[in-house]
Chain A
Amino acid sequence: MEPALRAGDRLLVLPAGERGLPGLRGLPPLGSIVVVEREGRLEVKRVARPPDGTPERTLWLLGDNPARSTDSRQFGALPLSALRARVVWRSGAR
């Protein structure tokens, strides 16, 4: 996710998704950075526009560094139920 996020950054997140704050329960806007749970792990990715034919109300997530990222290009779209949080702030000046 560099340079937007770097290893060791602290993130302030707001609960989002099905059990999130009211107003953050739906699909996050394109370009926002979210935390999802996938295969029992929490991962941070950016919300991207899904390719044609992707089911509605699913998340298409891409890392910022395509050559190094494992993301929806490999694992496909994630259900909205995977969404845990929306990143609103990160520590550290750039």
Chain B
Amino acid sequence: MSNIISSFKRALTPVVVSAHCDIPCGIYDPSGAVVAAKTVARMVELLEQIEVKDHATRNKYVRCVASKEEHAEKVKHEVQVIWSDYFKPEHLAKVPDLHDQVWKLLKLASKNKQNVDTAAAAELVAATEAFAAAFAASKA
């Protein structure tokens, strides 16, 4: 008898079931990519100002190059995660050029790793801002 009661109790004990992925929806945010792109642009600006004449200025130059590399890579990572994990086929109706836009943005980030180029850095900032706008449009 107690067996029957305990199995009923077990059957009636509520458990939690989920309808969504482990990480709650809505945590994707393109602002990290925009900030990283602006950091790249600022590093390019500094690199063009630094006159390398001793160890101290060389050190500063190298640090700016390293930071430029790091943040250009961060742009790529942040954009790729939103592109692959957040965007669903349904969003393409609102952002039809998404794949082309991301493809060009990632290539632009690589160009910024390879060069110290003010124009390319400005393009990267504009492209990540456009990507952030596309993200917002997909939610509208």
A contact residues vs B (CB 8 Å cutoff): 1, 5, 7, 10-11, 35, 41-45, 63, 66-70, 73
B contact residues vs A (CB 8 Å cutoff): 14-22, 25, 88-91
- Return chain B residues, CB-CB under 8 Å to A7: 19
Would you call A43 and B19 a contact (CB within 8 A)? yes
Would you call B17 and A35 a contact (CB within 8 A)? yes
> Which residue from chain A places its CB closest to the CB of B15 in the assembled complex?
A42
- Return chain B residues, CB-CB under 8 Å to A67: 88, 90-91
Give A88 Cβ to nearest chain B Cβ, in Å.
Answer: 13
- The answer, among A42, A63, A69, for a CB contact under 8 Å with B17, is A42
Would you call B18 and A66 a contact (CB within 8 A)? no
- Return chain A residues, CB-CB under 8 Å to B20: 68-70
The complex places the Cα of A68 from the Cα of B25 at a distance, in Å, of: 7
Would you call A45 and B88 a contact (CB within 8 A)? no
